[in-house]
A = this chain, B = another copy of it.
């Protein structure tokens, strides 16, 4: 750091300063010098000069030459929600601990955008890719395949590469059971009183709906189609679904399963428009965990998906060379109302 020069030092600069050749400097600084039988003393000299001048490798040059970049990508639908932002947080920590550089991008659940974004990442020669919740996993697959890019699907499975997903069926069963048990505490519950809102025609939604229906049928002896309201993944659409229900029935269902925290935001929008009485005695389940959502003024059961485990498992899969495409289930966890879980943030030191 002694150097105040404007331009960054290169191996050529150090080569001149040290009297060695650029290749020697390169070898010393990238660790391959033992293999190249560079003298300890030479290496020490060069290392000394390197940090005296604050040398850092130009990673674009390295990447160009070695066609590896040290970048690991994570493709997200959106950032702005606790499930994905917490996944990003775990991802980042994991990637950095491996000495690589995380690059997180979102594609807004748009298949075309997904493909484009992945193309861009490939243009930067990223080494590996985590695809979380791709709308069109197999479309993205082709792009990766063509570029020879190793990737895993997280959260939503693809058919052409290994996937790590939440046990949506199991989680939905737990959640539905919790909702119904709680509702039953205050008397009998007809099946028409238990709904599901949110989600669309993706694998996760289908599995959750299946779990919901199975448990409902088992516990309440019925499962009318009308109780399933797939609204897509937008707060606005979900709010409209609640409004529609309310317009028909003058109240909200006794209990309902909300497909994600994004859909739960739709419930908030509905609530903002209506007096407190309207939802005095509802029981809600949300397939996502949010620390504030857990403390709403009515019981909210939540499912906490273990994004950290999913990321770890993802790396494991990428590590084992060319495994056949398998799908790993990661068990989620039922979170009772009024529960504050710790998260990745707690790993940070915060000295005052």
CB distance from A339 to the nearest CB of B (A): 6
Q: Which of A231-250 contact B (CB under 8 A)?
A: 231-237, 239
A17 beta carbon closer than 8 Å to chain B: no
Q: Which of A79-93 contact B (CB under 8 A)?
A: 79-82, 84-86, 88-89, 92
Provide the bound-state CA to CA distance between A346 and B240, in Å. Answer: 14
Provide the bound-state CA to CA distance between A89 and B261, in Å. Answer: 17
Please pick, from B146, B233, B264, B292, the residue contacting A54 in the complex, using a CB distance under 8 A: B146
Residues on the B chain within 8 Å of A346, using CB: 234-236
- Asked if residues B109 and A340 are in contact (CB atoms below 8 Å), the reply is no
CB distance from A73 to the nearest CB of B (A): 10
Residues on the B chain within 8 Å of A271, using CB: 295, 338, 340
Q: Mark A44-88, 1 if CB is under 8 A from B, else 0.
A: 000000000010111111011000010100000011111011101
Please pick, from B56, B109, B231, B343, the residue contacting A80 in the complex, using a CB distance under 8 A: B343
- Asked if residues A350 and B232 are in contact (CB atoms below 8 Å), the reply is yes
- Asked if residues B272 and A338 are in contact (CB atoms below 8 Å), the reply is yes
Please pick, from B8, B124, B234, B295, the residue contacting A268 in the complex, using a CB distance under 8 A: B295
What is the copy number of this chain in the assembly? 2
Q: Mark A192-218, 1 if CB is under 8 A from B, else 0.
A: 000000001000000000000000000
A269 beta carbon closer than 8 Å to chain B: yes
Residues on the B chain within 8 Å of A4, using CB: 146
Which chain B residue lies CB-closest to A77? Answer: B348
- Asked if residues A297 and B294 are in contact (CB atoms below 8 Å), the reply is no
- Asked if residues B60 and A348 are in contact (CB atoms below 8 Å), the reply is no
A27 beta carbon closer than 8 Å to chain B: no
For the complex with contacts A56-B119, A110-B348, A269-B340, 17 further pairs of A-B residues with Cβ separation under 8 Å are A6-B148, A8-B147, A56-B122, A56-B123, A60-B63, A60-B123, A79-B86, A85-B85, A109-B348, A109-B350, A233-B350, A237-B352, A264-B292, A265-B292, A271-B338, A290-B292, A295-B296
Chain A to chain B contacts (Cβ below 8 Å), 21 pairs = A4-B146, A8-B147, A56-B122, A59-B123, A59-B125, A60-B63, A78-B89, A79-B86, A79-B88, A80-B82, A80-B344, A85-B88, A101-B105, A108-B348, A110-B349, A232-B350, A234-B350, A235-B342, A235-B345, A237-B352, A271-B338
